[in-house]
Amino acid sequence: MTDNRSSSLHSSKRVLALCGGVGGAKLAQGLNELITAPDSLTIVVNTGDDFEHLGLNICPDLDSVVYALANKNDTTRGWGRADETWHCLEALKELGAQSWFALGDRDLAMHLERSHRLRSGQTLSEVTALISKQLGIRAHVVPMSNNPVRTVLHTDEGELAFQDYFVRKAGKPKVESIAYTSADTATPQADLMARLTDPDLDAIVICPSNPQLSIEPILALNGVREALRRASAPIVAVSPLIGGKAVKGPAAKIMQELEIPVDSTGIAQVYLDFINGLVIDRADELDAAYVSVPTVVTRTLMKSPEDALNLAQATLEFAGQLRLEATQTK
């Protein structure tokens, strides 16, 4: 159970979270429940897997986070909207149109509205802010950049755009390397950079997202990794692995193919140049002795909103402990 007194201590914390995917959206939801003060929680979301489909601008990670924070996400599938229907997709199949990417009827409304606003000249940040406000989301949700950045995987079957690899090919091709096209020229979202340099920021949280597919695109943006190295706030990453396996998605498979240890040490290795601590699951407790940064062992599997809230609380308590220890050693 969550300690209400401890929860209240975190309600006004100023926190920056970097995330993408289902695990990231779940922890974002927990942080959003915990941090209730206005303008205190900023959630920066990966857009490397965005693409255009059927003339629509699709932003899968942004949608996962927005749906989760609005309590409209499908918790069974782990993606898309709850109470979804598929009439449009079925009609597309009848017409012989592209139907490999499953767009639900309710989900289509998001893509139609976003695409319309983008084509009217609004930025992705502006559109996301408007949608978040309309859905009653308290947290400040922002895309990592308003400029297109695309994750491209070099595999044993050739070069694949993210959705071709992840959906069409079901993540089966062997990954040899990954590129984040245009990341070096894209401008990081202004609120991301402002928070990274905010002296009053209490914590930076790297959510339990796929390191290579959801977090690295953000880190690849010009100046972001350097800003993280200079940040005054403690930076805590939450491992997406439990018992050496990913809860969902191809994180473990990709790490193995890129010759990164598929355990807590491998996660720490990816973020080693800027994190101050790592949160790992109880199943990986023995890894703690080999991780090169301080660790906290707790339950990281989020099967319910309460699980997400508890993990958010444990993560922020760890960040507070790291800040206190850093202050005492000065």
CATH of residue 155: 3.40.50.10680
Q: Per the domain annotation, does 66 fall within a domain?
A: no
Is 258 buried (19+), middle (13-18) or exposed (0-12) by CB count in 10 A? Answer: middle
Q: 56 with 112: CB under 8 angstroms?
A: yes
**In this predicted structure, what is the pLDDT of residue 93?**
94
Q: Per the domain annotation, does 198 fall within a domain?
A: yes
| Whether residue 6 has pLDDT greater than 60 | no
Token pair 């983008």 is found at 118
pLDDT mean over 264-288: 97
- For 137, the 3-state DSSP assignment is coil
Q: Per the domain annotation, does 102 fall within a domain?
A: no
| Whether residue 58 has pLDDT greater than 60 | yes
**pLDDT tens per residue across span 162-214:** 999 999 999 999 999 999 999 999 999 999 999 999 999 999 999 999 999 99
Name residue 187's beta-bridge partners. none
Separation CA 5–CA 298 (nearest Å): 19
Q: Per the domain annotation, does 56 fall within a domain?
A: no
Domain count within the chain:
1
Separation CA 247–CA 167 (nearest Å): 18
Separation CA 189–CA 178 (nearest Å): 22
As a whole number, the mean pLDDT across the chain is 94
Q: 42 with 230: CB under 8 angstroms?
A: no
| Whether residue 327 has pLDDT greater than 70 | yes
**In this predicted structure, what is the pLDDT of residue 78?**
80
pLDDT mean over 286-306: 96
Q: Per the domain annotation, does 86 fall within a domain?
A: no
pTM, to two decimals: 0.94
Q: What is the domain range of residue 188?
A: 8-50+145-328
Q: Per the domain annotation, does 249 fall within a domain?
A: yes
**pLDDT tens per residue across span 70-111:** 999 998 888 899 999 999 999 999 999 989 999 999 999 999
pLDDT mean over 270-283: 97
| Whether residue 159 has pLDDT greater than 90 | yes
Question: What are 70's two structure tokens?
Answer: 């609005």
Q: Per the domain annotation, does 44 fall within a domain?
A: yes
pLDDT mean over 2-9: 58
**pLDDT tens per residue across span 16-43:** 999 999 999 999 999 999 999 989 999 9
| Whether residue 243 has pLDDT greater than 80 | yes
